[in-house]
Structure 1
Amino acid sequence: MENPVENAKRLAAFKAVDNHVVNGVIGIGSGSTVVYAVERLAQRVREEGLEVICVPSSFQAKQLIIQHGLKLGDLEMHPELKVTIDGADESDLQLTLIKGGGGCLTQEKILASCAEEFIVIADYRKASENLGEQWSKGIPVEVIPSAYRAVYQKIEKTLGGKSELRMSGSSKAGPVVTDNGNFILDWNFQTVMNWKDVETSLNMIPGVVENGLFVGMARKAYFGMSDGSVMERTVKANM
């Protein structure tokens, strides 16, 4: 019997690809749900003759594109994307997202910003009313390695909460290193805040490369549910 979480991921990913992908340049996000999006995209290319170029957000995304025989592109050649499809660690009712649990937040945010539409795919565990209800690991902040201690002290002094350097665990001694060669701090906030102000405040700290708050970027989200349905959330485009 299939794992209900994996089935929920597949349902959300397939529906998003079917509803939003047409011929053109597509941004491919990172994470476990994106695996199913690339699977469905490859099916449509084979069955429908869909013509797409895929721009990856990470090493993982690049390998998925190659493994499925899809056309690989990059932002240098294709700086404008038709749509970017990506997962999320958590989404609130306004589609404010926490992303970066997999360490790819900077590239993911760049791809989202370059797309006409940014579409989110996730399972039911990621859908919240407010950030912090489901995701308890904090907001990722990518930092220049030499500045990590100064940055986390400034975050705590400015915004409160607690920051920790993300460690690699048993597979590698030392901290997690991003595809960009940087470190990641996980900032655990204490309460619901004005997330746009927080996003700006974090990025204004010298040494911060980017943070995992995606505010006002997602147009629509698909959440695969445990009962086999797909819940959709939509927000109006920013004027």
Structure 2
Amino acid sequence: MVKVFARGAPATFWRFCPLLEFTPHFGDLRSVVILGVMRPRRWLEFAVSSHRSLLLSLPGKHVRSSSSRRHHGTLMAEEAKKLAAYAAVDNHIQNNQVVGVGSGSTIVYAVDRLTERVRQEKLNIVCVPTSFQARQLILQHGLTLSDLDRHPELDVAIDGADEVDTALTLIKGGGGCLTQEKIVAGCAKHFIVIADYRKDSKALGQQWKKGVPVEVIPMAYVPVSRAIARRFGGEAVLRMAVTQMNCLSLFFKGVVETGLFVGMAERVYFGMEDGSVKTRDHPII
């Protein structure tokens, strides 16, 4: 997989790259991802105004060394991920459901808990993955694997996020696979997000500094990058993916897909530093 970081490009660029339709493709083409480092609010304003779907270290009394604090913070974050994942699975998974399984480190805990419940409660659960990583997790845990061809409508999808604001608008795709994640989420009756306390923001861009991810098909990477730079002063920097290889098998004729998930999440579970779980529901308009 190939990734690109595009800096400073407003979302109005994507007006001439509409998402028209997608075509299954299982060849050996590598996907391209652009992470647009610009003000996420500008992307959000475009997404809302266009009326177009985008489917679119706890303080202590003792002084620790910097490495010790980092280690402590990492352990806390991992426990927070687990708390959020377990709460989501316990509250939203029922018998005889088709479940969308997201990607990323937090999802590992969700699949662990889902496996426990399937075995303990003898649940009949079918899982649809959003990436190669998710597919492997499903198979390794002995869960039933399916896809959108056989199950185009999901009861619930659970996935992580890079950042979540107060309106439940998400930035996703920092690790890749945002197109498949968005497709699966869009096919679910209920889209539930799990994250640790570091992903919680009042406004997008407060925590996540790498920018809004954008996926493009490989042949469009250079034209899109040049257009960003020419029209909006953006800078595109190519990045090779380290994880989640082969995560894309669908390519959009419309060329691009953004990592803004607007109006899609129903509820977010945040695992907190103090061991609690905070929930945030989508505001009623």
TM-score by length of 1: 0.81
Query: Displacement of 1:164 after TM fit?
Result: 2.6
Instruction: Tell me, yes or no, if the aligned pair for 2:161 and 2:195 is still in contact at 8 Å.
Output: yes
Residues in 1 aligned to 2:228 and 2:108: alpha-carbon distance in whole angstroms:
34
C-alpha offsets along residues 193-221 of structure 1, whole Å, 9 cap, x if unaligned? xxxxxxxxxx9x9532x111101100000
Match of 1:207 in 2: 255
Residues in 1 aligned to 2:99 and 2:250: alpha-carbon distance in whole angstroms:
26
Matched, 1:180 2:248: yes
C-alpha offsets along residues 25-48 of structure 1, whole Å, 9 cap, x if unaligned? 000000000000000000000111
Residues in 2 aligned to 1:181 and 1:45: alpha-carbon distance in whole angstroms:
29
Residues in 2 aligned to 1:73 and 1:103: alpha-carbon distance in whole angstroms:
21
Residues in 2 aligned to 1:167 and 1:17: alpha-carbon distance in whole angstroms:
33
SS at match of 1:74: coil
SS at match of 1:166: strand
Residues in 1 aligned to 2:120 and 2:255: alpha-carbon distance in whole angstroms:
47
Instruction: Tell me, yes or no, if the aligned pair for 2:103 and 2:134 is still in contact at 8 Å.
Output: yes
SS at match of 2:123: coil
Q: Bigger shift: 156-165 or 88-97?
A: 156-165
CA 1:159–1:92 in 2, change beyond 3 Å: closer, same or farther?
farther
Query: 21, 28, 31: which is aligned to 2:101?
Result: 28
CA 1:109–1:159 in 2, change beyond 3 Å: closer, same or farther?
farther
Query: 253, 267, 271: which is aligned to 1:224?
Result: 271
SS at match of 1:3: helix
- Structure 2, gaps ≥5 residues long: 1-71
Query: Displacement of 1:17 after TM fit?
Result: 0.3
Match of 1:8 in 2: 80
Larger RCO, structures 1/2 (Cα 8 Å, 6+ apart): 2
Query: Displacement of 1:139 after TM fit?
Result: 1.2
SS at match of 1:146: helix
CA 1:206–1:20 in 2, change beyond 3 Å: closer, same or farther?
closer
CA 1:182–1:112 in 2, change beyond 3 Å: closer, same or farther?
closer
Quick one: which amino acid aligns to residue 214 of structure 1?
F
Instruction: Tell me, yes or no, if the aligned pair for 1:142 and 1:182 is still in contact at 8 Å.
Output: no
Instruction: Tell me, yes or no, if the aligned pair for 2:167 and 2:283 is still in contact at 8 Å.
Output: no
Instruction: Tell me, yes or no, if the aligned pair for 1:224 and 1:230 is still in contact at 8 Å.
Output: yes
Matched, 1:55 2:123: no
SS at match of 1:83: strand
**Radius of gyration: which is bigger?**
2
Number of aligned positions between the proteins: 212
TM-score by length of 2: 0.69
Residues in 2 aligned to 1:150 and 1:182: alpha-carbon distance in whole angstroms:
20
Instruction: Tell me, yes or no, if the aligned pair for 1:103 and 1:178 is still in contact at 8 Å.
Output: no
C-alpha offsets along residues 4-37 of structure 1, whole Å, 9 cap, x if unaligned? 1110000000000000111210000000000000
- Structure 1, gaps ≥5 residues long: 184-202
C-alpha offsets along residues 64-110 of structure 1, whole Å, 9 cap, x if unaligned? 00111111111000000000000000111111111111111010000
Residues in 2 aligned to 1:222 and 1:119: alpha-carbon distance in whole angstroms:
8
Instruction: Tell me, yes or no, if the aligned pair for 1:11 and 1:224 is still in contact at 8 Å.
Output: yes
Query: 204, 214, 223: which is aligned to 1:141?
Result: 214
Q: Percent identity?
A: 60
Residues in 2 aligned to 1:72 and 1:182: alpha-carbon distance in whole angstroms:
18
SS at match of 1:228: coil
